[in-house]
Amino acid sequence: MNLPAPKPEQQNPSAVPAAAAAGRSLDTHLRRYAARTAGMTASEIRALFAVASRPEVVSLAGGMPYLAALPLETLSADVAQLLATEGQTALQYGSAQGIPALREQICQIMALEGISAHPDDVTVTVGSQSGLDMVTRIFCDPGDVVVAEAPSYVGALGTFTAYQAEVVHVPLDDEGLIPAELERTLSALAAAGRRVKFLYTIPNFHNPAGVTLAVHRRAEVLEICARHGVLVVEDNPYGMLGFDGQTYPALRSMESENVVYLGSFSKTFAPGLRVGWALAPHAVREKLVLAAESATLCPPTFTQAVVSRYLAQHDWMGQIKTYREVYRERRDAMIGALEAHLPAGCRWTRPDGGFYVWLTVPEGIDTKAMLPRAVTQRVAFVPGTAFFGDGTGNSQLRLSFCYPTPERIREGVRRLATVLEGELELISTFGQVVRRQPTGPQSPSPDTA
Amino acid sequence: MNLPAPKPEQQNPSAVPAAAAAGRSLDTHLRRYAARTAGMTASEIRALFAVASRPEVVSLAGGMPYLAALPLETLSADVAQLLATEGQTALQYGSAQGIPALREQICQIMALEGISAHPDDVTVTVGSQSGLDMVTRIFCDPGDVVVAEAPSYVGALGTFTAYQAEVVHVPLDDEGLIPAELERTLSALAAAGRRVKFLYTIPNFHNPAGVTLAVHRRAEVLEICARHGVLVVEDNPYGMLGFDGQTYPALRSMESENVVYLGSFSKTFAPGLRVGWALAPHAVREKLVLAAESATLCPPTFTQAVVSRYLAQHDWMGQIKTYREVYRERRDAMIGALEAHLPAGCRWTRPDGGFYVWLTVPEGIDTKAMLPRAVTQRVAFVPGTAFFGDGTGNSQLRLSFCYPTPERIREGVRRLATVLEGELELISTFGQVVRRQPTGPQSPSPDTA
C-alpha cells in the first residue's frame, strides 16, 4: 500500500514530525495534561481511514447514513422560511435543556416504542454522543466500572475512557445481551468490591453486532440491573430502522426510574445537525442540564429549530420508511454477497434493522493486521478490536451497508473475500501470523470515516 | 414580587416537589453520582431569571446579541441554496476538527488581530464554551488551580467547577489584569505547592468587567506566565466589537507556543449556531480534537457550513460594523443614564467595546439580596457574586447593554436607581442589611437569560 510518506521538509511551520504527532515526544505541554488525557491517543488505524475515503476504495467502514434519500429541495424551502420568519429566535441563545416544542415532538416519537414521558424530562443534546458524555460526566469517577456488551459502540468506549471509567464486557448472542452472563458479571464485580455505575446497552440493531435484544430478555435485564443497584443507559439510535417496520418495546417503556434513554435524529434524519436527546428520571435530568450548560451553554438553537420544523411539516415517518427500504436492499446485497463469496469458516450476523453486520473470520486471521492489505485491495472495514475495551476482537470486524450502493457493496465484499483468501493462503503456507499486542479502543472514529 | 406558587396537585407525573428539584432530597440516584456532580447545583437566582424574562421587566442581565441587526432575508436565501446544492455534505457527519474551509476563514479573521496561524492548528468547537470545556478537560485534574481575573466570566467558572479545578482570582483595574498581582499570586501558589494549569483571561472588553487589558501590559502578562510555567487561555469573543473600530493585538499574536486562543461567532454573527474555535499549539490541538470527538463526534456540520458560506458571500465586516454602531449607541445610553440617575457612591466602568458595564454600589448594599426587589420593580441584572469563585462580589453587579433598545436601557437604569435609593434609605433607617452567606458561582446562566 502506498501511504503518503512524510516530507523531509515540512512546509507548514506548525506541522511537527510524526513522533510528536503521535504524542510520544516534543510536546512541551506533556507535563501539564490531566491524568485523563493519557488515555486520549490517536488510533493507528486513523491514517488508514484517510486513505479509505478515496473514491476507489469501497468503504464498508463508516456509519454515515445515505442522505441522498432526503428531500433536499423541500427541506431547503422550509429552512429558508424558518430563517426569514423566525430567524431572530432560531439564531439566538436558547435554554440548556433544549427548545420546548422539540422536546414535545420527541415525546411523540418515543411513544412509538411504548415510552410514556413528559417533555420536562427530555434534554436535547449535541447528538446522542453528547448525551453519553453528559451521562458519563455526572455518574463516573475514575476507576468506576461501566458494563457494556461485547462488542460495544466504539464512540461510547472512547467516552468512558475519557472519564477514566473501566469497561467490563458482557457477551451477547443472536438474541442480544445474555442475561445469565450479565448476572454473573455483576455478581463478580460486586464480590470484587467494584463500583458499577451503569449498564450501557444498545438493544436494537446493535452497533457493531447487528443483533437485537429479544423481547423476552428485556424485563430480565432490567430486573438484574435494579437488583444490583446499577443504572441502565439505553442507547437507541437505530430503533426506528427495523426493515420490516417492526419496533421493539424500549427498556425505558418497561421501567422509568432506573433507565436513562438516549435518542438521536442522526440516523432517522441527518447527523450533520447533531441533534439527539436524553430522557432521564427527573433528578438526573436536572444534573444533565447543569452538566450540558457547562459544556456548551445550550445545544444549537438553529439545528433544533430545523428538526422541529421538519417534524411538524414533513412526512417524517414516510422518510423513515424510505430509509428502511434503502437499507433493507443494502442489507440484502451484503448478506447475499457474503454468502456467495466468503471462504469457509466465516460467520456473520443477519441484522433485521440498522447499519451493521458483524463478521467473525477463520481462526488465525488478525483483522487489524489485515486492514492495510484490505485497503490496498480497495476495501475498508473496522477491525473488531475497536469495539472492545480489553484489546480483544482480533478475529472480528464490522461491515456497514448504510452508505455504499448495493453494487458497490457486492464489489466490496468480493474484494474482502479475496483479501481473506490471501490471508488463509499465507497461514497455510507460513503458519499463523504473529498477532500484534492488543491495544483497545483508540478513537478510530470509524463511524464518521 | 409574585413568583408563581407551586400547585398543590402537580398535573405532570414527572414533576417533583421543590425540595427534590433543588437536589436536596428524594433523588434515588444520589449515591451514584460522580464526585464532580456535587458541585453542579442550580442557582437560587435561576428562578428569578425566569421571571425577569417577562416583557414588562427590562433585563440588563442577559448577554444576548441584538440579532434584529442581521440581514435575515438574504441569509435565508443563502442557506436555502446551501441545502439545495450541498445538502448531502452539509447534513452529513464531518471531522471532529471541523470543516477545512471554515478553518481557513477563521485564520483570516484572526489575522485582523495580528495572529499568524495555520488551519491545521484550529479546532472548530460547539461555541467557545465547548472550547473552554475541552481545554479544561485535557489540562485539569481535580484540585488543580486555574487563575482568572476578579471578576471572571460566569460560564468559565462553571466549567472549571465541573472539572473540580479551583479558581484563584487576580485583581484587575481599568487597564485589565494587573501584572504585579498576577506575579504575586503565581509566586504564592508556587510557594504553597499548588499546581496552576492555566491563566484564563478575557483581554478585550471583558465580561463582566467591561475593561480591556492595556497593550503595554500584554507582553508582561505573557512573560510572567511563561516564567511560572503556566499556560495562557485567551478568550476573545468580543475583540472585534471595539466601538471605534479599534482592535488590540491578541496575546496569541505575541506568543504562539504558550497560548490557547478561543474565538467565537456568537457575538459577531449569531450564537444559536454554536460555532466557535480554539487555536492551540500543535500537540495540544491533537488532544483537543480527541477530546472533542469523545464529547460530540464532530461539531454540527450544518452550522459550520452556514457560517462558512456567510463569511464567503456576505460583507461580514460590514455586519460587524453595524453591530458596533448598535452597541455603541446602547453603551452611550447606559453610561448617560447611569450618570443622570444613580445615587452618589456608585462607580462603574466605561467600556469601549463589548456588552457590559460593571457597577460597584455603595457600602452596605448586597446586590444579590437586592435582586428580588429589583425584579419586583421590573429591572434585572446579574449580581456580582456570579462572577467570583470565592463568594465575593456582593457589592457589585453586571449590567448589559447589548439587547434592549436605548430607550429601554434608560428606563431600566431609572428603575435601578430607584431600587438603589430604596436600599440606601433602608440602610440609613435600619443600619446595614444582614448579608447572606456567600455561595460562589452556581450556573445562573445569565448570559442566556
Q: Does B24 touch chain A (CB under 8 A)?
A: no
Ordered strands of the A382-383 beta sheet: A347-348, A356-360, A396-400, A382-383
Tell me which chain A residues have a C-beta less than 8 angstroms from the C-beta of B155. Answer: 293-294, 297
Residue B433 distance to chain A (closest CA, Å) = 32
d(CA A322, CA A317): 9
d(CA B135, CA B290): 11
> pLDDT-based confidence at A187, cuts 50/70/90?
very high
Q: What is the mean pLDDT of chain B?
A: 90
**pLDDT over 60 (residue B120):** yes
Residue A389, domain CATH = 3.90.1150.10
Residue B21's pLDDT is what? 43
Are A309 and A324 in a shared domain?
A: no
Residue A433's pLDDT is what? 54
Enumerate residues 6+ apart whose C-beta is below 8 A from B310: B75, B78, B269, B316
Domain-embedded: residue A292: yes
Of A139, A144, A297, the CB nearest to B127: A297
**pLDDT over 70 (residue A350):** yes
Q: Does A32 touch chain B (CB under 8 A)?
A: yes
Are B146 and B244 in a shared domain?
A: yes
- How far from the centroid of its chain's Cα atoms is residue A37's Cα? 22
Domain-embedded: residue B294: yes
Tell me which chain B residues have a C-beta less than 8 angstroms from the C-beta of A121. Answer: 14
Q: Kindly report which listed range (A437-446, B33-42, B193-202) carries the lowest average pLDDT score.
A: A437-446
Q: For B349-435, where are the alpha helices, taking DSSP H only?
A: 367-376, 406-430
Residue A96, domain CATH = 3.40.640.10
pLDDT tens for residues A235-292?
Answer: 999 999 999 999 999 999 999 999 999 999 999 999 999 999 999 999 999 999 999 9
pLDDT tens for residues A243-256?
Answer: 999 999 999 999 99
Of B33, B75, B445, the CB nearest to A87: B75
Are B96 and B48 in a shared domain?
A: no
Residue B45's pLDDT is what? 66
Of A75, A120, A139, the CB nearest to B33: A139
Residue A182 distance to chain B (closest CA, Å) = 20
Q: Do A130 and B296 touch (CB under 8 A)?
A: yes
Range of the structural domain that residue A241 is part of: 87-313
Are A301 and A332 in a shared domain?
A: no
ipTM: 0.91
**pLDDT over 60 (residue A205):** yes
d(CA A421, CA A342): 8
- Residue from B32, B53, B233 to probe the interface with A (highest A Cβ count within 10 Å): B32
Domain-embedded: residue A212: yes
Are A142 and A220 in a shared domain?
A: yes
Virtual torsion, Cα B370, B376, B382, B383, nearest 10 deg: 10
> Which residue, B313, B331, B352, sits at the end of a domain?
B313
Are B92 and B48 in a shared domain?
A: no
Q: Does B356 touch chain A (CB under 8 A)?
A: no
- Residue from A31, A46, A73, A83 to probe the interface with B (highest B Cβ count within 10 Å): A83
**pLDDT over 60 (residue B1):** no
Residue A292 distance to chain B (closest CA, Å) = 10
Are A132 and A238 in a shared domain?
A: yes
Domain-embedded: residue B401: yes
Q: Do B34 and A447 touch (CB under 8 A)?
A: no
Query: How many CA atoms within 13 Å lie on the side-chain side of B76?
Result: 17
Enumerate residues 6+ apart whose C-beta is below 8 A from A370: A383, A419, A420, A423
Q: Does B158 touch chain A (CB under 8 A)?
A: yes
Q: Does B83 touch chain A (CB under 8 A)?
A: yes
Share above pLDDT 90 across residues of chain A, in percent, rounded to a whole number: 83
pLDDT tens for residues A57-98?
Answer: 999 998 999 999 899 999 999 999 999 999 999 999 999 999
> Which residue, B249, B284, B313, sits at the end of a domain?
B313
Domain-embedded: residue B248: yes
d(CA A275, CA A98): 10
| C-alpha distances out from residue A442 to A167, B87, B227, Å | 14, 31, 35
Residue A2's pLDDT is what? 35
Are B162 and B221 in a shared domain?
A: yes
pLDDT tens for residues B236-287?
Answer: 999 999 999 999 999 999 999 999 999 999 999 999 999 999 999 999 999 9
**pLDDT over 60 (residue B17):** no
Are B48 and B121 in a shared domain?
A: no
Q: Does B310 touch chain A (CB under 8 A)?
A: no
- Residue from A82, A297, A298, A302 to probe the interface with B (highest B Cβ count within 10 Å): A297
**pLDDT over 80 (residue A446):** no
A135 is written with which cell numbers? 451521562
**pLDDT over 90 (residue A20):** no
DSSP, collapsed to helix, strand or coil, labels residue A148 as strand
Between positions 166 and 195 of A, the ones with CB within 8 A of B are none
Ordered strands of the A176-177 beta sheet: A122-126, A275-279, A259-264, A231-235, A196-201, A145-150, A166-173, A176-177
Domain-embedded: residue B81: no
B112 is written with which cell numbers? 485582523
How much is the CA Rg of chain A, to the nearest whole Å? 22
Domain-embedded: residue B287: yes
Are B215 and B107 in a shared domain?
A: yes
Backbone angles phi, psi at B424, to 5 degrees: -65, -35
Virtual torsion, Cα A385, A163, A295, B12, nearest 10 deg: 100
Domain-embedded: residue B381: yes
pLDDT tens for residues B78-117?
Answer: 999 999 999 999 999 999 999 999 999 999 999 999 999 9
CB atoms within 10 A of CB B190: 14
Residue B266's pLDDT is what? 97
Residue A304 distance to chain B (closest CA, Å) = 9
**pLDDT over 70 (residue B19):** no
Are B120 and B186 in a shared domain?
A: yes
pLDDT tens for residues B323-340?
Answer: 999 999 999 999 999 999
Tell me which chain B residues have a C-beta less than 8 angstroms from the C-beta of A156. Answer: none
How much is the CA Rg of chain B, to the nearest whole Å? 22
Q: Which residue has the higher pLDDT, B313 or B15?
A: B313
Residue B434's pLDDT is what? 52
> Which residue, A293, A313, A333, sits at the end of a domain?
A313
Averaged pLDDT for residues A17-27: 49
CB atoms within 10 A of CB B39: 18
Residue B326 distance to chain A (closest CA, Å) = 16
d(CA B326, CA B324): 5
User: Counting one residue from A and one from B, how many pairs have CB atoms under 8 Å apart?
Assistant: 326
- Total structural domains within chain A: 2
d(CA A177, CA B135): 37
Tell me which chain B residues have a C-beta less than 8 angstroms from the C-beta of A107. Answer: none
Q: Are A112 and A242 in contact (CB under 8 A)?
A: no
Q: Do A290 and B161 touch (CB under 8 A)?
A: no
> pLDDT-based confidence at B38, cuts 50/70/90?
confident
d(CA A132, CA A344): 39
Are B307 and B369 in a shared domain?
A: no
Q: Does B228 touch chain A (CB under 8 A)?
A: no
Characterize the bridge pairing of strands B382-383 and A356-360: unpaired
